A and B are shown apart, each in its own frame.
Chain A
Amino acid sequence: MSENKKQNYLNHPKGLMSWILTLDHKRIGLMYLVSGILFFFLGGLLALVMRFELAAPGNDVISNEVYNNAYTLHGAIMIFLFIIPAIPGALGNILLPLMVGAKDVAFPRLNLASFYIYSFGALFAMYTIINGGVDTGWTFYTPYSTQSSSNVVPMTLGIFIIGFSSILTGLNFIATIHKMRIPGLTWYKLPLFVWALYGTSLVQITATPVLAITMVLLMLERFLGIGIFDPALGGDPVLYQHFFWFYSHPAVYIMILPAFGIISEIIPVHSRKKIWGYKFIAYSTLSIAFIGFLVWGHHMFTSGQSVFSQIVFSFITYFVGIPTGVKIFSWILTMYKGQVSFTPPMMYALAFLFLFTIGGLTGIFLGAVALDIHLHDTYFVVAHFHYVMQGGTIVAFLGGLHHWWPKSFGVMYNQTVANIAALGVFIGFNGTFFPQFLLGLRGMPRRYATYDEQFVELHSYSTFWSGILGLSIFLAIMNLFWSFIRKNKVDPGSNPWGGMSLEWTHTSSPPHPHNFEEEPVLQHGPYDYDKVIVEKTYNK
């Protein structure tokens, strides 16, 4: 038995091949995590280059052409190589089977295949960089993208391939959630992270095929001139935008729903209180996923789209605010009268609440046609989507990493350093992006390497804080990985935050190669802090 205790998925089985050909969801999740973080750093580096260029007007550091490449690659890498595949791929993979009490996902081989498809697609994206970049923006709008001599084809091909990985992961998760739950774990007893993954997966399998079609049409247009986006041949360049956003608006929910799920786990555990409005949160996930399919035209308010569509899209966009608001209020009410402890995961969750709310509300501003005509393609939009994607998704991702780090790897990081880094992320983030709302309101357009004298102050301010932000994120992640060197092991049976879901109560840290030594028996729901007392247990 004691030997069995020491055996975990990290040290058993051994050898390089056992990793390359692993079918273990935890190892696959870890591989997604490492590749995701590498791309995160690459994308972040590009961002810092851009901010450096923008510290002063004029082309001081890089040329316009290099700048165009930098923002395109920054966007494409962050979205298609990091946020979309790596967050469900990493945290979803590691946690989903543990949370439903299963030995693995429903289709372990398919899971490994997804990872390799993702890697294969990423190779094309990396080739793009070596081969001189691509300069169309991450949205690849026609007609420019059909004419640009940069690497549109390798990049879109890479995205096309990665899309399959997304679809297969989604399929795998849906099958796992339907079929692999232990007896007694009914839908309403699932941790909300599982609901979030379910919603995410639904969007992945319904929306991603449209992205694939869009990329194929773009390539056909370039190679064969089929004319679907070319007015001279009876096509329509704006049709491209319909195709692209029919995927990419739902894709923003692929990015944010897992983050919502993470927050729904962190807040009750670190407030030691039952989640408020379980069913509201669960169903708002599904309704966000659905409404998300009806609003894509809000990205096209200045494209010459028909006025009738403008009104319809603007109107439906407001509805997104309802389920989103439901979630925010439920989280706040969960903390109310709870025993909130300011642990690193909770710091990130609080930062999330603040930043995501600003991001979501400014999204509603942008959903108003009349206002968006003024704000479209300005820094206001840049600030909006960074508040939701970085302030929302990435902050939640960091929170989730800190929350499940001792569980996944059996080591504890330095919590003081982690809190300092979290504070740095919060302040650095606001310092970087809040000025961008003001820049946008004053008319600073996005995607320019230079600007008028009048914007100097706000731009240089934003650049200064982006340095702090970059350093803080670096510190946070280094602090996590440092924990392996620190060897501050947690007891295999410990439950450092007093969590109640199966991954905390029924499996060791790090988990056994087969997750559970015997099939777990459900004793309580994931948030029953009002009924059961769960001790926080840490090492000696």
Chain B
Amino acid sequence: MSEHHITPLKTYLIIASLLLFLSGVTVWVSYVDLGPLNIVVAMLVATVKASLVAFFFMHLLWDDKKNLTLFLMSLMFFGIFVTITLLDTEFRGDLGLNPEVKNPINNRAAFYDTLPLTDTHGHPVDGHSDDHDKDKDHH
């Protein structure tokens, strides 16, 4: 249908080197501890990379603008989902009536090594005793 856009090789090379550079950044930040920002930075870099691929290699930039709209909409929906979910998980126990409940995941999960690993009934576990479905070597 509409004529095909021909991208100069130079553009491809620039984008490719940008992608390589960003991969380097991903590796580099993994050595820097930014606390809760770790995940944010990693996701940001990944999003930028994926967008570059979509815009240039997949020609979204020169395509029918409806496709661009759809792409941006999916980013927006993803944004809505993550943001509003974080409004729960980051503020859980926000009345502060019961300090036990405040920020339960980060404070209480054994994963963060503040408590020994327990099963759902609070009994300490070492490996997995009863659940045959689960893989045994995740920690």
A and B interact physically: yes
- A184 in contact (CB, < 8 A): no
Instruction: Please report the number of residue pairs spanning A and B whose Cβ atoms sit closer than 8 angstroms.
Output: 93
The smallest beta-carbon distance between A206 and chain B, in angstroms, is 6
Contacts of B85 in A (CB 8 A): 239, 242, 246
- A307 in contact (CB, < 8 A): yes
Cβ-neighbour of A226 out of B73, B131, B138 (below 8 A): B138
> Does A233 contact B81, Cβ atoms closer than 8 Å?
no
> Does B109 contact A306, Cβ atoms closer than 8 Å?
no
Please, how many angstroms separate the alpha-carbon atoms of A210 and B82 in the complex? 12
**Which B12-44 residues have a C-beta within 8 angstroms of A?**
none
- List 10 extra interface pairs beyond A232-B110, A305-B92, A306-B89, CB under 8 A: A224-B135, A225-B128, A227-B111, A231-B109, A236-B89, A242-B81, A246-B81, A306-B90, A306-B94, A308-B91
28 A-B pairs within 8 Å (CB atoms) are namely A143-B120, A147-B120, A206-B77, A222-B133, A223-B133, A224-B138, A225-B135, A231-B104, A232-B117, A232-B119, A232-B120, A233-B139, A234-B109, A234-B110, A235-B105, A235-B111, A238-B89, A246-B85, A300-B88, A304-B92, A304-B101, A305-B92, A306-B89, A306-B90, A306-B91, A307-B94, A308-B87, A312-B87
> Does B134 contact A225, Cβ atoms closer than 8 Å?
yes
Cβ-neighbour of B105 out of A206, A231, A297, A307 (below 8 A): A231
- A309 in contact (CB, < 8 A): yes
Contacts of B128 in A (CB 8 A): 225
Contacts of B89 in A (CB 8 A): 236, 238-239, 306
> Does B87 contact A309, Cβ atoms closer than 8 Å?
yes
- A294 in contact (CB, < 8 A): yes
Contacts of A223 in B (CB 8 A): 133-135
Q: With A206-B73, A225-B134, A246-B81 as known contacts, state yes or no: A307 contacts B95, CB within 8 Å.
A: yes
- A293 in contact (CB, < 8 A): yes
Contacts of A307 in B (CB 8 A): 91, 94-95
Contacts of A238 in B (CB 8 A): 88-89
> Does A312 contact B133, Cβ atoms closer than 8 Å?
no
Which residue in chain A gives the minimum CB-CB distance to B117? A232
Dominant secondary structure of chain A at its interface with chain B: helix
**Which B83-109 residues have a C-beta within 8 angstroms of A?**
84-85, 87-95, 101, 104-105, 108-109
Q: Which positions in A face B, CB cutoff 8 Å?
A: 143, 146-147, 206, 210, 222-227, 231-236, 238-239, 242, 246, 293-294, 297, 300, 304-309, 312
> Does A308 contact B94, Cβ atoms closer than 8 Å?
yes
Which residue in chain B gives the minimum CB-CB distance to A247? B81
The smallest beta-carbon distance between B57 and chain A, in angstroms, is 22
- B80 in contact (CB, < 8 A): yes
> Does B93 contact A306, Cβ atoms closer than 8 Å?
yes
- B74 in contact (CB, < 8 A): yes
Please, how many angstroms separate the alpha-carbon atoms of A308 and B92 in the complex? 8
> Does A232 contact B111, Cβ atoms closer than 8 Å?
yes
Contacts of B125 in A (CB 8 A): 232
Please, how many angstroms separate the alpha-carbon atoms of A40 and B89 in the complex? 38
